[in-house]
Every structure is written in structure tokens, then in C-alpha cells.
Amino acid sequence: MSTTTATRRGQGRPESRSRRRVEPIFYFFLLPSLVLFTLAITVPGLVGIFFSFTDSIGIGDWEFAGLTNYIAIFSDPAILQSYLFTFGFSIVTVLVVNVIAFLLAVGLTSQIRMKTALRTIFVIPMVVSGIIIAYVFNFLFSNSLPSAGAAAGISWLETSLLANPDLAWIAIVVVTAWQAVPGALLIYIAGLVSIPGDVYEAAEIDGASKFQQLLKITAPLVAGYVVINIILGFKGFLNAYDIIVGLTNGGPGTSTRSIAMTVIAGFNGGDYAYQMANATIFFVVAVLISLLQLSLTRGRNTL
């Protein structure tokens, strides 16, 4: 940035004057978002970080507690477990979502009948609120599936998936994926449509099979979209909250408590400062992941 200004400054007056005369309307466009972002995100964030060094419960009197909260967090198995669960869940879900969405997108961009109608149907889950989806699936898992299992005589189906501490996370992956696939699907469709038809024609002439075309042409050409979907998806799943609340509420036992749930539990349950410390750590972790993803994807696959 500084080098360009320097060279431009050396290039004489007319240039530099035109640079300075930026349309005021651009600042005007930026301002509302900047003000709202500062007031609603940055300031509360800093306040939260400040309180993580106190013993506040969110109301009333408080005192400085130094690093006490942070020391306690690192010896807290419940917090550690919530991190393990959230990351494991996010990785599995991101894989499931992207595989399904990619295959669906390939199907929905090929020459099939009722393409528009099918696309519409597949996108519907995206517009339904997460908590509603979760409650509907909760009913299916707790009532419909067990009765179906009982009727068909399949004994392992008779107890709800949600009641099994070792398997409840699978139910959460299924429901989250069901909701998240459409978003990824739309991005993949956009990516597939943008591939020019003539490369396929050339491949056809060279005698490539449909499967070879998928592997050698389609896959590399949508690689950038894959990266976008993985980053957006992973970031979203790390914040998992509403679907888990509606499905298991962190249970059975404590097996499906996500990081966001433990943070909010502190907000509601009188552990404000402690969970603010947890949120601060989570924030740092999220920043590290973003930096890692940026450095991994820089240069390649940019859109």
C-alpha cells in the first residue's frame, strides 16, 4: 500500500489529486456497518474479555481475580470435553455435508428432468429455523423411529438414538447436515455452472468417460468452491448451538455439550466471568484456525 502511494506521489499532481477526491458516498456506505459492528460486536467483546479477569456473575459487585478463571479452565474436564466434542463434530459434519452437497450438485446440474423443482425441494431445509428442525427430528428420533423399530422387530432401533450417550452425536450430525447441505449445494451449483461447456466437449472428443470427466475436470475446476464451503461450514459448525439444544440439550449426561452451550450456560447460570474466559480462549482458537486456513489457501484456489 505504502509503496504504491509513494510511486504515485512521485508521478505528479493530477494523479494524486484524483486519488484524494474519493466520493464521500463510499464513506457513507461504510459508516452504518462500522458503527453497528463496533457497538454490537467489538465493544461487548472487549467488555467480555475484561470481565474474564474478574469474579463477576454478570450482575452486582465484582472483584479482580487475575488469571484464576483461566487456571480453573485448564483443569476443567467438562470444558475440555466440550472442545473435543465440538471439533470432532465439526470435522465429521463438514465432510458429510460437502460430500453429499457435491454429489447432489453434480446431479442437479446434469441433464435431468424436473431440475428446477428438485433444486427447490433440496433447498427448503435451509429456510426452516434450526430449532424447529431440531424439535421435529427430536420427535422422529424419540417416537417414530423406535415405534418403527418395534413394529419391524429390530431391537437396536427401539431405543432412541438420542438416549445413547455414545451415539447421540450421530443424530446431531445427521440433523445439522440436513440443514447445512442446501447452503453448500447452492455454492457448488454456482461453481459447476461456471465451468465452460467446451472443456467437456473436448474431453468427450478425447474419449474420456463421464467418471473421468468428474474426476479430472469437474473436481479440479470447483476446488475453490470446495475450500469456500469447508471454511464456511467449519466456522459455522464450531458455533453449534440451536440444533443441539433442541435435540439433546447437551445430553444424555454431558456427552453432547458444545462450546457455545457451556458459554451460554455461564451466562444463565451465574458463571459469567468464568465462561467469558472460556469464550476468550475460544476466540483465540478461532482466530488461529482462520489464520491457518488463510495461509493454507492463499495463492491457490482463490476466486
Residues that bind another protein (CB under 8 A): 24, 27-28, 31-32, 35, 55, 57-61, 65, 68-69, 72, 75-78, 141-143, 146, 158-160, 162-165, 249-255, 257, 265-272, 274
CA atoms within 13 A on the CB side of 135: 4
What DSSP state is assigned to residue 64?
B
Which residue lies nearer to another protein by CB, 170 or 265? 265
Closest contact distance (angstroms) between CB of 162 and another protein is 7
> Min. distance of Cβ 254 from another protein in angstroms?
5
Q: Name the H helices within 194-271.
A: 197-205, 210-213, 219-221, 223-238, 242-247, 259-268
Candidates 288, 266, 232, 219; CA nearest to 55 is: 266
Q: Which of 171, 167, 176, 151 is nearest to 242 (CA)?
A: 176
54 DSSP 8-state letter: B
Shortest separation between residue 52's beta carbon and another protein, angstroms = 11
CB of 294 to another protein, least distance (A): 31
Which of these, 68, 46, 69, 48, lies nearest to 58 by C-alpha position? 48
| Burial state string for 234-259 with b = 16 or more CB within 10 A and e = fewer than 16 | bebbbebebbbbbbbebebeebbbbb
CB of 97 or CB of 244, closer to another protein:
244
User: In angstroms, what is the minimal distance from the CB of 224 to another protein?
Assistant: 37
